[in-house]
Amino acid sequence: MAALPIKFGILGCADIARKVSRAITLSPNSTLYAVGSRSVEKAEKFARENGFPESAKVYGSYEAVLDDPDVDAVYIPLPTSLHIKWAVAAAQKKKHLLLEKPMALNVGDFDKILEACESSGVQIMDGTMWMHHPRTGKMKEFLKDSEQFGQLKSVQSCFTFAADKDFLENDIRVKPDLDALGALGDTGWYCVRSILWAADLDLPKSVLALRGTVFNSAGVILACSASLLWEDGKVATFHCSFLANLTMDVTVVGTNGTLRLHDFIIPFEEREASFFTAIKSGFTELVTAWEPKPSQHTVTTELPQEALLVTEFSRLVGSIKYEGAKPEKKWPTLSRKTQLILDAVKASIEKGYEIVEIVS
């Protein structure tokens, strides 16, 4: 592609924007072009500390980034409650959208964002980085292998981390007016995504939150669990929390095979990542050991997963910009399904742990 790199504007100086700024720099088809913050000093400091080129634009407002005609795409790591306002505004200004998860406070809001993107013909993608790691593709090959893996039967997913006192008091993810979905919107997003991914995006027919949800004094979820059931009998459970040691486990079991890993969201190492598969597992004659045993697979990557995310997003934006392609619907469809299940878990909790049917 002889086309120019996609020029990114970043709205706000959230912590996660540092990682994504580095990813934009690392990605061969994108460049850091602008950053906007409510404080121009903060934006300047951010640009200075995060590898923005000398020529980068530094703005004292989000609007100014959207008004810059040279900005191709924006990365929005703002609190979830602000997504609808700024994502819609960005789409209306024809900016392609890389939006941090959760996409919105609910699927209704997300649909408004989606509508704005569709009417402007811009690409939207969520910031779920692990989807773009080559390990994820390798694992998918295994899950799609009807001989080795067979038919999916169950998924157990767990993403927890032990937030410190400062996080539990001050982070946007514990504030009802900023990230009202709390741990469900943050760690739960990834659990739900891993389950949907394993189920090949097949939506469950129903969702049941499990008793034991922990709320903070403002009513924001700090930990919760849920169970999902599909028409064809597949089942899944997940547990997400801000209150337990960092854990990212998924176990996916099919009729013939098993897939598991312990670092599905952020690999233990930046440049290589492992997963375990087991195929038609069984025992030695007296059932005293396994035969065959599971095996470990390691996948290396030159670029970290977040740079691969930016590369894929920029590729799609470039196709639209330079080749007149249409936006890729696969990514917003996946975001929407994830959001739909988060909504159902939340509704189940609010209804006193009733079963919630999924209507897509």
State the residues that interact with its own copies by CB under 8 A. Answer: 16, 18-19, 22, 150, 153-154, 156, 158, 160-162, 206, 208, 210-212, 214, 223, 225, 227, 229, 233-235, 237, 239, 241, 243-247, 249, 251, 253-258, 260, 262-263, 266-270, 276, 278-283, 286-290, 293-294, 304, 306, 355
Q: Closer to its own copies by CB, 92 or 154: give it.
A: 154
Q: Cβ 279 to its own copies, closest distance in Å?
A: 8
For tokens 């337990």, the residue is 244
Q: Cβ 61 to its own copies, closest distance in Å?
A: 27
3-state secondary structure of 132: helix
Given phi > 0 = left and psi -120 to 50 = alpha, else beta, which region is 353?
Answer: left
Q: Closer to its own copies by CB, 38 or 211: give it.
A: 211
* DSSP single-letter state for residue 294: P
Q: Closer to its own copies by CB, 78 or 155: give it.
A: 155
Q: Closest by alpha carbon to 46, among 3, 71, 11?
A: 11
Q: How far apart are CA 122 and CA 119, in angstroms?
A: 8
Q: How many angstroms separate the first and last alpha carbons of the chain?
A: 37
Number of Cβ within 10 Å of residue 217's Cβ equals 6
Q: Cβ 284 to its own copies, closest distance in Å?
A: 8
Q: Closer to its own copies by CB, 203 or 210: give it.
A: 210
Positive/negative CA dihedral, 109, 241, 346, 237: positive
Q: Which helix (H) or strand (E) holds 337?
A: helix 330-350
Residue positions annotated with a catalytic role: 101
For tokens 């924007």, the residue is 17
Q: Cβ 262 to its own copies, closest distance in Å?
A: 7
Q: Closer to its own copies by CB, 41 or 232: give it.
A: 232
Q: How far apart are CA 348 and CA 289, in angstroms?
A: 42
